Every structure is written in C-alpha cells, then in structure tokens.
C-alpha cells in the first residue's frame, strides 16, 4: 500500500538570483523495534537517504533534518524540484540492511513505527559544480561543461498543501485540535474525525469511564481486531494460553474476541512497547462506553496505519515460552480488519500518569519529550 507523504524543504542561504535545485531525500523518523532471540531491542531513528540515486549529491541530509527548521514546500517556492525515483520501501530496506549489520544475532522480526512519511528537499545551485545552498560550499567536483540540470526529471513546486478542513462534516461546528492532532474532536455533536484520502471520515470512539472529581487525563489507544494465521490468537482463551497468563481459562472465554492494543500517541520507544504489551494482555472490555469521554484528552498523534505495524511485534513480545518466537514467528501472519479509538483514564500524579484498573504507569516526562519525536 502506497502511503501519502509530506514534502518539506531545508531553508537556503544562496546568493540572490541563483537558480535553486532541490534534491529529494526520504526521511525515516520513528521507532525501530527488532526482535532478536534474546528479546526486543528498540531504537529511535531520524535518518535520511537519497530518493533518487545520484553521485553528484550527498547521500543524506545528515543531522540537518533534526537541527534545522523544516518548511513545507508551497507552490510559491521558486526552484527546480527533482523527482524522487526510488520508492520509500526500497530505500528504507537498503538503509536497514546496512543498519542491521550492527545487530547482535539474527533478526526474527522488525517493525518501523514512524510518523507520516516525509520527503525532504535540500537546496543546491550550480556554479561550475553543485553547490550546497545551505552552507554555500561545494558539494561535488567540477562539472563537465555539458552538464545540464534538465537531465534530471523534475519541475516547479506545484503541489498544494492539503490543510485538514476543520469544520465538522456532521454539524458544521468549527473543530479545534493541536497542530499535530490526527483526530479532531467536535465538541458540539461529540464526534471524532480523521483526514483520509476522500476527506474527513468518522472515527468510532469508546472510553472507560472513571468517577468524577479525580485529576484525570484520557490517553488514546487504537484497539485493533486482526486475523492471525500460523498461531491460534482469535479469542481471549487463545491469548491466555499463548502468553501463558497466570489464569485458568473460564467457560465462554473462547467466545470473547482477542484485540490488539497500541498507544495512539507518541511516547518513548520503551514506554510504547510496555504499554502495547500490558494493555493487550489486560484486554480492557468491561464497562467500555461507546462515546467520547468528558474531560481532558491527550491528542492522537500516532495514526492507526502506524499502529498496525505493532501487531506482529506485539505477538513476538508476549508469546511464551520465548523459544516459540524463534521457532514460529516467520510463519505468523497478522491482517488487521477493524479498529476502534479507545480512551483510557490515567490519574495525573507528580511524576507519572497512572492507570489504576490495569495497573500501569507512564512517566510524564516520556510523554512531554515525545513532542520532539
């Protein structure tokens, strides 16, 4: 499935009047989880690689994607934008193959859980050689006189940034949301909406109510139903057996569907994985109410399209004994079928947010720092 992406550019410092050329790089930003026989390793990645193969331009934008303020490419931006010719998947795989050489031991499964895909355009100009327009220094050797930039397919910036419309499709109310919020809340008709290819689509929401008066924030989670093959994981009874939970399977548990849970917000990789496993093994289902909670809610800033990347990783983390992962993970396939956005109440304490029903906490710092993730 081809995902849509954002186009950013690095600001330039080129001398007045220079014709700028923008070279495309894919950016890999997000969490990388690698299942090894010894357990799951996590890393936070922010790297880039050429989206078109050329020896004239640097292989990546280096630290600039983190250190510099990126701007959206707008139709008013002057310059020649070289087309990306390598698909994201392929560039990512080549990058990971090299990256993975440093891993200790065979990689049984790997998930990259990132943000929305992005392409970064870095500015250059030609003055006998290719000049880096950020630092105004040479990026290539002297060029052949016959060199022409028009050899590269590309064109002017003519993309429109599609801003998410903020009027509620149901009642016309102006919805508010933080800049990074992927799901908007209509406080008039209590509905929630996410942008999709065909405009806004309604998101099914539920929450776990909590007694009023407590200092509470609701954290959003994606609850995903999936078809699993290669292992029995259809019902709650299957989950209890596969994860070897300290419970005796009760009559009827084979009729309770098993759901996979994932945070719908950005948080440091270690906390992300812990929450994913813990909430999945807890299987919240009693007392869920099918509407938007009253009270403060943390914004949804991890899309469900990324949350589905956790499915196999989640299984690899809870299968017991651990040896099963090594033996069977290759034959396990998971296909998401339905999802629901569920808000769980967390009590705000001095350092932590605490979920009392399922007995899990997340450090407030891990959430605050995740603003830069």
> Residues interacting with Zn ion, by CB under 5 A?
168, 170-171, 173, 186, 188-189
CB of 232 to Zn ion, least distance (A): 42
Q: d(Cα 356, Cα 74) in Å, to the nearest integer? A: 47
Q: How, if at all, do strands 80-82 and 21-36 pair? A: parallel
Note whether 50 and 25 are within 8 A (CB).
Answer: yes
Residue 80: count of CB within 10 angstroms of its CB = 18
CB 334 within 8 A of CB 228: yes
How near is the Cβ of 59 to Zn ion at its closest, in Å? 48
| Strand-by-strand arrangement of the 199-202 sheet | 183-186, 191-196, 199-202
Q: Rounded to the nearest whole angstrom, what is the least distance from the CB of residue 302 to Zn ion in the complex? A: 24
Max intra-chain CA distance, the chain: 80
Q: Which is nearer to Zn ion, 41 or 204 (CB)?
A: 204
Nearer to Zn ion, 91 or 186 (CB): 186
- Which residue, 188 or 229, has its beta carbon nearer to Zn ion? 188
Q: State the nearest-atom distance from the C-beta of 167 to Zn ion, in Å.
A: 9
DSSP code string of 184-207: EEETTTTEEEEEETTEEEE--EEE
Minimum CB distance to Zn ion smaller for 42 or for 166: 166
Strands 5-9 and 137-138: unpaired
Compute the least distance from the CB of residue 347 to Zn ion, in Å: 29
> Residue 168 or residue 264: which is nearer to Zn ion going by CB?
168
State the distance between the two ends of the chain, measured CA to CA, in whole angstroms. 24
Q: Is 89 helix (H, G, I), strand (E, B) or coil?
A: helix
Pairing between β-strand 333-348 and β-strand 205-207 as defined by DSSP bridges? parallel
Whole-number minimum distance, CB 343 to Zn ion, in Å? Answer: 18
Closest to Zn ion by CB, 122 vs 300, is: 300
* Least spacing, CB of residue 75 vs Zn ion, in Å: 31
Closest CB 171 distance from Zn ion, rounded Å: 3
Judged by beta carbon, residue 193 or residue 346, the one nearer Zn ion is: 193
Q: Cβ(307)–Cβ(226) under 8 Å?
A: no
Is the CB of residue 124 less than 8 Å from the CB of residue 57? yes
DSSP letters, 204-222, are -EEE----TTS-EEEEEEE
Nearer to Zn ion, 166 or 235 (CB): 166
Nearest to 273 by CA among 115, 111, 101, 102: 111
**With respect to Zn ion, which residue has the nearer C-beta, 170 or 234?**
170
Q: Alpha-carbon distance 215 to 345, whole Å?
A: 10
Q: How many CB atoms lie within 10 A of CB 87?
A: 12
Helix (H, G, I), strand (E, B) or coil at 113: strand
Task: In angstroms, give the least distance from the CB of 246 to Zn ion.
Answer: 45
């Amino acid at each position: 499935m081809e995902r849509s992406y954002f186009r950013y550019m690095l600001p330039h410092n080129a001398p007045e009047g220079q014709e700028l050329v923008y070279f495309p790089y894919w950016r890999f930003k997000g969490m990388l989880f690698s299942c090894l026989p010894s357990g799951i390793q996590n890393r936070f990645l922010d790297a880039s690689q050429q989206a078109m193969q050329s020896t004239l331009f640097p292989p990546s934008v280096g630290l600039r994607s983190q250190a510099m303020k990126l701007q959206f490419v707008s139709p008013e931006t002057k310059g020649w934008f070289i087309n990306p010719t390598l698909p994201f998947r392929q560039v990512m795989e080549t990058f990971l193959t090299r990256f993975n050489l440093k891993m200790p031991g065979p990689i049984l499964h790997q998930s990259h859980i990132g943000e929305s895909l992005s392409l970064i355009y870095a500015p250059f100009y030609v003055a006998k050689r290719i000049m880096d327009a950020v630092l105004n220094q040479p990026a290539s050797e002297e060029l052949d006189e016959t060199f022409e930039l028009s050899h590269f397919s590309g064109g002017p910036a003519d993309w429109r940034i599609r801003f998410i419309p903020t009027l509620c499709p149901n009642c016309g109310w102006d919805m508010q949301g933080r800049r990074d919020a992927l799901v908007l809340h209509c406080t008039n008709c209590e509905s929630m909406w996410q942008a999709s290819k065909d405009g806004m689509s309604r998101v099914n929401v539920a929450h776990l109510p909590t007694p009023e008066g407590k200092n509470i924030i609701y954290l959003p989670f994606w609850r995903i139903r999936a078809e699993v093959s290669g292992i029995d994981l259809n019902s709650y009874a299957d989950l209890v057996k596969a994860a070897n939970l300290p419970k005796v399977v009760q009559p009827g548990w084979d009729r309770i569907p098993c759901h996979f849970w994932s945070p719908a917000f950005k948080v440091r990789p270690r906390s992300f994985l812990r929450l994913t496993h813990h909430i999945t093994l807890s299987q919240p289902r009693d007392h869920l109410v099918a509407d938007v909670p009253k009270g403060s809610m943390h914004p949804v800033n991890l899309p469900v399209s990324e949350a589905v990347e956790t499915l196999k990783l989640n299984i690899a983390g809870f299968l017991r004994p651990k040896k099963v992962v090594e033996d069977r993970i290759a034959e396990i396939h998971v296909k998401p079928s339905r999802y629901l956005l569920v808000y769980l109440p967390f009590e705000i304490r001095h350092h932590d947010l605490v979920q009392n029903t399922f007995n899990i906490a997340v450090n407030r710092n891990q959430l605050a720092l995740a603003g830069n993730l």
